């Protein structure tokens, strides 16, 4: 047995040696000195740089036997031995940045008996003829891949997505030399639950890919069966293996599954595995470096274990970078623990504690929840040597320190500001009432501002959940989206409130104002670490307030937290380009600017590989779920399985689920490809500004970046458009047309690319080729009914061009073709498009030819306007001199529901300005001056009923009865002697009988009736 094992060992060593000794063949490039730039000569066959020794093993073709050259994932040390079996070169992975700058290996020239081909920009070209590279573009599904289950369909499009999803160039790595077929991916992990049915919507929801360093599953490019990706059930996790299950969850989703992290830490601590708990803490805090609550828990654990050295190391790492009140409270407790005051005879311990409090107040003293630190600090000063109110120097020193601490504390809007003000009032009034009132009067404005600001801040943050455990932003419409958006809006309102300077610090203490705003940004970023716009806003605030260092730190930390963020990467690169010296070596400047771009591109390519791996795993899970049913059916039906309707139904269901999964993942991959393309475009523009256009393989520049982008693959037509337009607008180089020609072969059904190509040809006045490109593109698009709508913008653009600069016959023929393809479009719209521009359409103008066209409207749709005839407005218009609000007449539609109100005189204006105006009018009247008079409009005619009533009433001259004399009435009232008691009233005898008045009226209480 030992001899057989030894023989097998030597045989394996011999096979590894043969694999490692495979020659790395370099490709000879054509380094012509011609200035003509041909995009077909911008890839691996034009790179003269020799391949480094450490890269030859990757570029050399390997056998099926896997090698152990690559280092296993350090984060999964338990699976190190198993993972070494799958560490061979993965053809599905895109080459790294270093690999993209090396030449592509080809056979030696002596062995070129038959034409050798290399992959160039997603298509195969012959090395001896550059023009052969302009072959027709083929979808990735047919480029050397006969197993449809192993290749992501990158060209599929969602019909409902319109132009949002672009065709992408094929992945170069899928065309590379065939590597070994890797075994199962031991690092991959899924939920142990067996899912027979995959919902594409749920798969699309997994759009928050992580930056975890996980090896992607190798894509097979041969006819051999694809190895099924490893699943959690294949790992053999037992139900009681709690730690292993949690580790799989963390490995699967390190940034999204925070509960798994916390449960794993608690599991280790419950089992008293302290070293494992520390290791988990360290891994967790690398992913979430600003999780203050977990830093506090980590520090408390070390403090409980009396690991003071480890505790001090934690404080050194966190105190100055993580502004957390709880963390500083733990630090202050530790300082007071290590410096007891009971045995402090020299006063050194008190000085250390005092400096610790000063440091804590400097970093977190402006927090709205730091009132306990201020209270403890003041109590600490009170407990010091000396007596408040004493006459000794120590007493006076203590009084000054305590007064200064109170004055600082009452100026900060905290929850303890009212209590501290009361204590300060007692402190000052207890020393000296005369000087105390003066001090209180001086500090009262600061206290009032802090108190009102704290009330406002409490109203703003009433629903805020202050947490330091960030979560990935949910996809709009998914679970938790509303709650996350609400919290983000509250944080933004808090930041905006601080920027408004409610404490009035800009004029008196500008550094304090800046420190408060930066502090709130840091607090917000603890909960919103995965929201790049918050990092961007924080950096912008720092740059606009001359805080360059803080702004750069915000960008660096934001990129570390969101390595896939284009926003932060572009901002960081632009800032580096601006601050670097223009006289510096262009190569050094380009290296600095390119660093964030390279990190972004590596992250995005890694996400693409993970998306493809996840697609293969999902497909394998679906096939695995249908396998037992197919086996059972085969056992029962035997050879008649093909004609079994249940079998056909299962196969149709499996196919539908697989197609749905592939479509969902294809959408994800296309979005990633679009992002990658625009990252390359931004890098290309930056390098052009610094180094110019350059020359591939000889001089760095924008062309070199374009060549690297094509070599790494996964780019859309946007990269070709940007490169071509850059060549034309910046250098007027004819290479722009060549790039468009190459792109037209790669993206024959991309309507956006065809439209840009058409515009470019017309810009250079190449009308003949423009019409040829139009016909070719339209013919390809309209040949497929599903793509007819894509040709509409191309028709519209050429129709506008022909209408302005072409022949009328061409315009009419073009409109005829458009009516055949798009019969729903009105003919009037097509005709008007000839003569209109986006801002004006002369065919739709209605000119004013007569004043009768502008006559005011007297009718409304559905009836005539109804004017109510009344002697005066039912409600007086509000006077210009009255501050009263007008009555809301629109709330009532008719008179029956309208409340009756008496018309009253104007209310006197009560403001000081109104009184002054009224007084000036009276003075003018006394002086005989005429005041301004505002003519009132004529009253409306009276209603017919009122006119009838007035006509039948007798005239006023017919009233001959005695009239009331006001003077006599007042004189009578003055002379009446009113009794003081009702018993003094004398009731006269009524001869007409009791209960009747002299006028015959009845008085029910028997008293006199006075008319």
* DSSP per residue, 641-707: GGG-HHHHHHHHHHHHHHHHHHHHHHHHHHHHHHHHHHHHHHHHHHHHHHH-S-BTTTB-SHHHHHH
Q: Give the integer Cα–Cα distance in Å for 223 and 915.
A: 99
CA dihedral (867, 871, 874, 877) positive or negative: positive
CA–CA distance, 598 with 690 (Å, rounded to integer): 16
In this prediction, what percent of the chain has a pLDDT beyond 70?
64
How many residues are there in the chain? 1011
pLDDT at residue number 855 = 84
Query: Measured in whole angstroms, how far is the alpha carbon of residue 914 from the centre of its chain?
Result: 53
Predicted local distance difference test score (pLDDT) of residue 705: 94
- The residue with greater pLDDT, 307 or 920, is 307
- Identify whether the C-beta of residue 421 lies closer than 8 Å to the C-beta of residue 410: yes
Tell which residue, 464, 522, 471, 525, has the closest CA to residue 489. 464
Question: pLDDT value at position 970?
Answer: 87
Residue 530 DSSP one-character state? T
Instruction: Name the one residue in this structure whose structure tokens are 């350059």.
Output: 694
pLDDT at residue 341 is higher than 70:
yes
Mean pLDDT in residue range 509-522: 95
Non-local CB neighbours of 547 within 8 Å, separated by 6+ positions: 514, 518, 541
What pLDDT, on the 0 to 100 scale, is given for residue 984? 66
554 — pLDDT class (breaks 50, 70, 90): very high
- Which range of 647-651, 669-673, 923-927 scores highest in mean pLDDT? It is 669-673
Of residues 300 and 343, more confidently modeled: 300
Three-state DSSP class for 222?
coil
Instruction: Give the bridge partners for 120, in sequence order.
Output: 123
* HEC letters along 34-86: CCCCCHHHCCHHHCCCCCCHHHHHHHCCCCCCCCCCCCCCCCCHHHHHHHHHH
Among the ranges given (265-269, 635-639, 761-765, 991-995), the one the predictor scored with the smallest mean pLDDT:
991-995
Cα-to-chain-centroid distance, residue 351: 47
122 sits in the region (left: phi over 0; alpha: psi -120 to 50; else beta) called left
Q: Are 472 and 530 in contact (CB under 8 A)?
A: yes
Q: How far apart are CA 371 and CA 365, in angstroms?
A: 8
Cα distance between residue 602 and residue 563, in whole Å: 9
Contact 774, 758 (CB under 8 A): yes
Nearest CA-CA partner of 428 in 414, 407, 451, 445: 407
Provide the phi-psi class of 62: left if phi over 0, else alpha when psi is between -120 and 50, else beta: beta
61 in Cβ contact with 178 (< 8 Å): yes
pLDDT of residue 951: 81
Q: Output the six-digit token pair for 802.
A: 């022909």
Give the percent of the chain with pLDDT over 90: 48
What is the predicted pLDDT for the residue at 22?
39
Distance CA 574, CA 552 (A): 12
pLDDT band at 728 (very low <50, low <70, confident <90, very high): very high
Which residues make Cβ contacts (< 8 Å) with residue 718, sequence separation at least 6? 166, 674, 677, 678, 681, 752
Q: 555 CB contacts (<8 Å, ≥6 apart)?
A: 535, 539, 568, 571, 572, 575
Per-residue pLDDT for 36 more than 90?
Answer: no
Determine the Cα–Cα distance for residues 953 and 328; give it in Å rounded to an integer: 93
DSSP string, 831-845: HHHTT-BTTB-GGG-
Mapping DSSP to helix (H, G, I), strand (E, B) and coil, where does residue 889 land? Answer: helix
Gap between the Cα atoms of 650 and 653, Å rounded: 5
Average pLDDT of the segment spanning 266-277: 94
Name 125's Cβ contacts closer than 8 Å, sequence gap at least 6.
40, 45, 117, 118, 132, 133, 135
Q: Which residues have a Cβ under 8 Å from the Cβ of 27 and sit 6 or more positions away?
A: 44, 45, 47, 103, 104, 105, 106, 118, 127
State the Cα–Cα distance between residues 12 and 928, nearest whole angstrom.
124
Is the dihedral angle over the CA atoms 628, 633, 638, 644 positive or is it negative?
negative
**pLDDT: which is higher, 650 or 938:** 650
Best CA proximity match to 64, nearest among 180, 170, 156: 180
Lowest mean pLDDT among 102-106, 289-293, 572-576, 792-796: 102-106
* Stretch 909-936: mean pLDDT: 53
Contact 269, 257 (CB under 8 A): no
Among 497-511, 529-543, 958-972, the range scoring the smallest mean pLDDT is 958-972
Are 587 and 191 within 8 A, CB to CB? no
Please tell me the predicted confidence (pLDDT) of residue 13.
47
Average pLDDT of the residues in 398-414: 94
Does the pLDDT of residue 863 top 70, yes or no?
no
Residue 824, CA atoms < 13 Å, CB-side half-sphere: 2
How far does Cα 304 stand from its chain's mean position?
40
Residue 629: C-alpha distances to residues 617, 639, 656 (Å):
20, 16, 17
pLDDT at residue number 89: 34
Q: At which residue do the structure tokens 């293996």 appear? A: 241
- Please indicate, yes or no, whether the overall pTM of this predicted structure exceeds 0.95: no
Tell me how crowded residue 632 is: count the other CB atoms within 10 A of its CB: 10
Cβ neighbour number for residue 701 with a 10 Å cutoff: 20
CB 502 within 8 A of CB 516: no
Contact 726, 739 (CB under 8 A): no
Residue 733 has pLDDT above 80, yes or no: yes
Between 431 and 281, the higher pLDDT residue: 281
Domains and CATH numbers, the chain: 2-67+80-191 (no CATH), 365-460 (1.25.40.10), 481-528+530-562 (1.25.40), 716-846 (1.25.40.10)
**Digit-coded pLDDT (tens) for 138-168:** 333 322 333 333 333 333 333 333 333 344 4
* Residue 189 CB contacts under 8 Å (≥ 6 apart), including other chains: 232, 235, 248, 249, 251, 252
φ/ψ of 33, rounded to 5, equals -90, 5
765: left (phi over 0), alpha (psi -120 to 50) or beta: left
Q: Among 216-225, 384-393, 617-626, 998-1007, which stretch is predicted with the lowest mean pLDDT?
A: 216-225
Backbone dihedral region of 424: left (phi > 0), alpha (psi from -120 to 50 degrees) or beta? alpha
Amino acid 284: pLDDT: 96
Using CA atoms, how far apart are residues 98 and 52, in angstroms rounded to an integer?
10
pLDDT tens-digit series, residues 825-856: 998 898 999 999 989 999 999 888 888 888 88
Q: Which of 267-276, 720-729, 938-947, 977-986 has the lowest mean pLDDT?
A: 977-986
Q: Which pLDDT score, from 0 to 100, does residue 32 have?
A: 35
- Number of neighbouring beta carbons within 10 Å of residue 567: 14
Give the mean pLDDT of 520-528: 95
User: What's the mean pLDDT when you consider all of the chain?
Assistant: 74
Nearest by Cα to 331 from 354, 311, 349, 350: 311
Hey, which residues does 837 pair with through a beta bridge?
Answer: 840
CA of 1011: how far to CAs of 840, 972, 997, 998, 999, in Å? 81, 14, 10, 10, 9
Angle at which helices 417-431 and 433-460 cross, to 10° = 180
- Is residue 114 helix, strand or coil? coil
415-469, pLDDT tens digit by residue?
999 999 999 999 999 888 889 999 999 999 999 999 999 999 999 999 999 999 9
């Amino acid at each position: 047995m030992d001899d057989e094992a030894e023989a097998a060992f030597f045989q394996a060593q011999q096979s590894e040696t043969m694999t490692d000794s495979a020659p790395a063949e370099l490709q000879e490039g054509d380094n012509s000195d011609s200035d003509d730039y041909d995009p077909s000569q911008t890839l691996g066959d034009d790179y003269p740089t020799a391949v480094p020794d450490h890269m030859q093993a990757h570029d050399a073709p390997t056998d099926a036997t896997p090698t152990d050259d690559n280092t296993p994932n350090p984060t999964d040390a338990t699976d190190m031995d198993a993972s070494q079996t799958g560490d061979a070169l993965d053809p599905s992975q895109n080459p790294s940045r270093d690999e993209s700058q090396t030449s592509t290996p080809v056979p030696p020239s002596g062995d070129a008996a038959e034409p050798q081909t290399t992959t160039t920009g997603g298509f195969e070209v012959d090395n001896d003829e550059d023009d052969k590279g302009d072959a027709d573009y083929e979808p990735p599904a047919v480029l050397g891949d006969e197993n449809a289950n192993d290749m992501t369909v990158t060209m599929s499009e969602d019909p409902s997505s319109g132009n949002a999803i672009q065709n992408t160039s094929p992945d170069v790595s899928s065309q590379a030399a065939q590597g070994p077929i890797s075994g199962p991916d031991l690092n991959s992990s899924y939920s142990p639950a067996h899912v027979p049915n995959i919902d594409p919507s749920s798969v699309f929801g997994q759009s928050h890919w992580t930056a975890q360093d996980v090896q992607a599953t190798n894509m097979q490019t041969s006819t051999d069966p694809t190895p099924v990706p490893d699943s959690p059930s294949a790992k053999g996790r037992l139900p009681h293996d709690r730690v292993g299950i949690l580790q799989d969850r963390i490995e699967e989703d390190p940034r999204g599954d925070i509960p798994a992290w916390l449960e794993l830490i608690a599991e280790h601590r419950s089992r008293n595995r302290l070293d494992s708990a520390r290791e988990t803490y360290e891994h967790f805090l690398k992913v979430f470096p600003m999780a203050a609550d977990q830093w506090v828990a980590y520090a408390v654990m070390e403090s409980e274990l009396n690991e003071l050295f480890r505790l001090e190391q934690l404080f050194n790492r966190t105190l100055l970078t993580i502004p957390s009140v709880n963390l500083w409270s733990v630090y202050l407790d530790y300082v007071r623990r290590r410096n007891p005051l009971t045995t402090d005879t020299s006063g050194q311990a008190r000085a250390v504690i005092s400096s610790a409090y000063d440091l804590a107040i400097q970093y977190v003293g402006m927090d709205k929840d730091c009132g306990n630190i201020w209270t403890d600090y003041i109590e600490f000063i009170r407990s010091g040597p000396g007596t408040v109110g004493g006459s000794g120097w120590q007493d006076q020193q203590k009084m000054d320190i305590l007064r200064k601490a109170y004055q600082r504390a009452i100026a900060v809007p905290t929850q303890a500001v009212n209590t501290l003000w009361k204590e300060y009032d007692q402190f000052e009034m207890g020393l000296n009432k005369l000087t105390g009132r003066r001090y209180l009067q001086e500090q009262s404005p600061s206290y009032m501002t802090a108190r009102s600001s704290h009330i406002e801040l409490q109203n703003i943050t009433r629903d805020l959940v202050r947490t330091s455990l960030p979560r990935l932003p949910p996809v709009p419409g998914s679970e938790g989206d509303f709650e996350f958006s609400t919290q983000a809006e509250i944080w933004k309102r808090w930041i905006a409130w601080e920027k408004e300077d409610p404490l009035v610090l800009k004029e008196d203490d500008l550094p304090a104002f800046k420190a408060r705003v930066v502090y709130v940004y840091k607090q917000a970023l603890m909960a919103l670490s995965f929201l790049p716009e918050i990092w961007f806003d924080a950096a912008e605030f720092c740059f606009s307030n001359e805080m360059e260092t803080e702004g750069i730190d915000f960008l660096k930390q934001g990129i570390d937290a969101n390595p896939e963020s284009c926003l932060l990467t572009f901002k960081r690169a632009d800032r580096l380009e601006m601050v670097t010296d223009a006289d510096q070596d262009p190569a050094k400047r380009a290296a600095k600017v390119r660093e964030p771009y390279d990190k972004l591109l590596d992250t995005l390519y890694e996400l693409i590989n993970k998306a493809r791996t996840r697609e293969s795993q999902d497909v394998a899970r679906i096939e695995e779920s249908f396998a037992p049913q197919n086996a059972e059916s085969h056992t029962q039906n035997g050879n008649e399985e093909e004609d079994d309707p249940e079998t056909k139904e299962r196969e149709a269901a499996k196919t539908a689920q697989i197609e749905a999964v592939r479509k969902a993942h294809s959408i994800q991959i296309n979005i990633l490809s679009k992002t990658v393309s625009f990252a390359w475009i931004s890098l290309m523009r930056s390098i052009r500004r610094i180094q110019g256009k350059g020359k591939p393989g000889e001089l760095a520049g924008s062309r070199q970046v374009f060549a690297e982008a094509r070599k790494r693959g996964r780019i859309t037509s946007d990269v070709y458009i940007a490169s071509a337009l850059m060549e034309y607008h910046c250098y007027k180089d004819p290479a722009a047309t060549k790039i468009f020609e190459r792109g037209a072969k790669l993206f024959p059904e991309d309507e956006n690319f065809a439209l840009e190509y058409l515009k470019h040809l017309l810009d250079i006045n190449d009308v003949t080729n423009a019409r040829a490109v139009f016909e070719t593109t339209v013919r390809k698009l309209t040949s497929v009914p599903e793509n007819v709508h894509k040709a509409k913008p191309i028709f519209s653009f050429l129709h506008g061009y022909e209408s302005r600069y072409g022949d009328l016959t061409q315009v009419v023929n073009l409109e005829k073709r458009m009516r055949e393809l798009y019969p729903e479009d009105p003919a009037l719209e097509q005709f008007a498009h000839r003569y209109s521009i986006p801002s004006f359409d002369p065919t739709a103008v209605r000119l004013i030819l007569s004043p009768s066209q502008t006559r005011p409207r007297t009718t409304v749709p559905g009836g005539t306007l109804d004017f109510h005839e009344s002697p005066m407005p039912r409600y007086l218009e509000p006077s210009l001199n009255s501050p009263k609000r007008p009555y809301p007449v629109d709330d009532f539609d008719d008179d029956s529901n309208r409340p009756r109100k008496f018309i009253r005189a104007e209310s006197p204006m009560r403001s000081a300005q109104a009184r002054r105006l009224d007084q000036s009018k009276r003075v003018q009247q006394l002086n005989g001056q005429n005041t301004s008079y505002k003519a009132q409009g004529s009253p409306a005619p009276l209603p017919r009923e009122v006119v009838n009533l007035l006509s039948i009433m007798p005239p006023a001259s017919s009233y001959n009865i005695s009239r009331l004399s006001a003077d006599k009435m007042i004189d009578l009232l003055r002379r009446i002697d009113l009794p003081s008691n009702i018993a003094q009233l004398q009731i006269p005898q009524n001869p007409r009988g009791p209960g009747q008045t002299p006028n015959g009226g009845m008085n029910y209480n028997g008293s006199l009736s006075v008319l």
